[in-house]
């Protein structure tokens, strides 16, 4: 084993000056779907818990709904050996990461892991700085399919160079890995990360609150509506294989209500955002399970065009969003950000939407559409008539429109 590790170190030095190899192509052609440990468990991760989550993804129907990545976030690592190779916590992961990855794969799921571009992770564990190829090689040997790469303890590092370096080393290690950049949007990764990674965080950390801010003193975490507002101006950068990431889902976490869970999930679907759940899948309510596995909402998120929704109108807390879908379809979402119900009267004929980025025009005067309510599963008539209804507080009316 020592001989193999020394060989890897030698290879790492030989590759240090190679020309940058781009990320693995043909991955994440639709927004990644899966589960991550951080939002509920933080550092309280273990082999047994991850296995139970993998089992729950299968048993709950989430795997069949499209969720495939099981991602361990921070705190699985405790140090490095004398050659610099990462050491897995032997008490929490006694069988090792290769065996755990094999278990996840046996469930027809994919395995993800976490590291950081700095010298330490955000929880103070060993980061990957100076060990990029060693870590990439190790992940490849374990069978890792997804890497979330954070941005703590980076001192004077250049973000683009640091993420590009790890992307290069992942490619050299030879095992296809979805690369998730997590530098919180500080250096506008949407402008430079398309060739480096498959998704990039656009904001600071999300918080399990519909409309509020959690102040930590030197930094803040954001409610779902604050995160949503931060996506303005970013839709042109998203598409198959390269996604804006407004952070993981808080559906079923904290005190979010059923209405708020629906609204949160709907808007992430409209944004073509990665759908990475973070709740305890072993004991979620049936309502939370129904939100996370709603096939129609997921179909909007996973649409092959990969176009992020356009915010068409906002008026007194009621927003109207249009998302072009393949085969001439549209998704339309009316979001009520108010705590109280609001009346909706939407005259389709009077609202012609010219989506210049998508090169699509919605004009019900020329094309009539039938409407399906994605949350009730019911047909809602057609765009020939004004849409008149009431939307509950902090909820949505989300429709899929098909050409009649």
Q: pLDDT digits over 24-63, tens only?
A: 999 999 999 999 999 999 999 999 999 999 999 999 999 9
Q: How far apart are CA 43 and CA 35, in angstroms?
A: 15
Q: In this model, does residue 175 exceed pLDDT 80?
A: yes
Q: How far apart are CA 103 and CA 24, in angstroms?
A: 24
Q: In this model, does residue 8 exceed pLDDT 50?
A: no
The domain over range 310-403 is classified in CATH as 2.60.40.1180 = yes
Phi, psi dihedrals of residue 323, rounded to the nearest 5°? -130, 115
pLDDT of 121 reads: 98
Q: How far apart are CA 363 and CA 291, in angstroms?
A: 31
Compute the mean pLDDT over every residue in the chain, rounded to the nearest whole number: 95
pLDDT of 22 reads: 84
Q: In this model, does residue 287 exceed pLDDT 80?
A: yes
CB neighbours of 36 closer than 8 A, spacing ≥ 6? 71, 73, 112, 148, 248, 276, 277, 278
pLDDT of 15 reads: 42
**End-to-end Cα distance, the chain:** 65
| 253 phi-psi bin (left φ>0, alpha ψ -120 to 50, beta other) | beta
Enumerate the CATH 3.20.20.70 domain ranges in the chain, comma separated: 2-301
What count of other Cβ atoms lies within 10 Å of the Cβ of residue 130?
A: 10
DSSP 200-236: EE-SS-B-S-SS-EEE-SS-EEE-HHHHHHTTTT-GG
Q: What is the CATH T-level fold of the domain 2-301, as seen in this structure?
A: TIM Barrel (3.20.20)
Q: Of 16-25, 94-103, 105-114, 356-365, where does mean pLDDT reach its minimum?
A: 16-25
pLDDT of 311 reads: 98
Q: pLDDT digits over 113-171, tens only?
A: 999 999 999 999 999 999 999 999 999 999 999 999 999 999 999 999 999 999 999 99
Q: How far apart are CA 43 and CA 119, in angstroms?
A: 18
Q: How far apart are CA 69 and CA 317, in angstroms?
A: 35
pLDDT of 21 reads: 52
Q: In this model, does residue 347 exceed pLDDT 50?
A: yes
**Taking the model in full, what pTM does it have?**
0.94
Enumerate the CATH 2.60.40.1180 domain ranges in the chain, comma separated: 310-403
What count of other Cβ atoms lies within 10 Å of the Cβ of residue 290?
A: 15
Q: pLDDT digits over 298-335, tens only?
A: 999 999 999 999 999 999 999 999 999 999 999 999 99
The catalytic site residues sit at 150, 205
Find the mean pLDDT for residues 212-230: 94
Q: How far apart are CA 92 and CA 80, in angstroms?
A: 16
pLDDT of 162 reads: 98
Q: How far apart are CA 24 and CA 356, in angstroms?
A: 30
Q: In this model, does residue 213 exceed pLDDT 50?
A: yes
């Amino acid at each position: 084993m020592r001989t193999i590790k020394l060989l890897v170190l030698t290879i790492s030095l030989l590759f240090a000056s190679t020309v940058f190899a781009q990320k693995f192509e043909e991955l994440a052609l639709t927004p990644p779907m899966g589960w991550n440990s951080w939002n509920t468990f933080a550092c309280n991760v273990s082999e047994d818990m991850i296995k139970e989550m993998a089992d729950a993804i299968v048993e709950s129907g989430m795997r069949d709904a499209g969720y495939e990545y099981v991602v361990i976030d921070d705190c699985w690592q405790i140090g490095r050996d004398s050659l610099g190779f990462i050491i897995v916590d032997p008490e929490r992961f006694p069988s090792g990461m290769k065996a755990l990855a094999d278990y996840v794969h046996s469930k027809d799921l994919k395995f993800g892991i976490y590291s950081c571009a700095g010298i330490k992770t955000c929880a103070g564990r060993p980061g990957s700085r100076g060990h990029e190829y060693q870590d990439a090689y190790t992940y490849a040997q374990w069978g890792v399919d997804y890497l979330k790469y954070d941005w703590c303890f980076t001192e004077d590092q250049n973000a683009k160079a640091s993420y590009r370096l790890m992307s290069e080393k992942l490619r050299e290690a030879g095992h296809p890995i979805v690369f998730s950049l997590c530098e919180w949007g500080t250096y506008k990764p949407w402008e430079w990360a398309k060739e480096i990674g498959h998704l990039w965080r656009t904001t600071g950390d999300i918080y399990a609150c519909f409309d509020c801010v959690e102040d930590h003193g030197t930094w803040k975490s954001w409610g779902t509506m604050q995160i949503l507002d931060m996506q303005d101006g970013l839709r042109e950068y998203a598409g198959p294989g390269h996604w804006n990431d407004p952070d993981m889902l808080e559906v079923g976490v904290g005190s979010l209500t059923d209405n708020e869970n629906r609204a949160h999930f709907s808007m992430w679907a409209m944004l073509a955002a990665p759908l990475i759940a973070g709740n305890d899948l072993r004991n979620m309510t049936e309502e939370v399970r129904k939100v996370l596995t709603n096939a129609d909402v997921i179909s909007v998120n996973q649409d092959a065009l990969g176009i992020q929704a356009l915010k068409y109108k906002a008026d007194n807390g009621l927003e109207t969003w249009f998302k072009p879908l393949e085969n001439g379809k549209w998704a339309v979402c009316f979001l009520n950000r108010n705590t109280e119900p609001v009346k909706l009267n939407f005259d389709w004929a009077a609202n012609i939407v010219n989506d210049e980025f998508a090169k699509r025009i919605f004009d019900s005067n020329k094309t009539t559409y039938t409407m399906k309510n994605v949350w009730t599963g019911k047909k809602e008539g057609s765009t020939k008539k004004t849409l008149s209804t009431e939307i509950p507080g902090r909820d949505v009316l989300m429709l899929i429109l098909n050409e009649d």
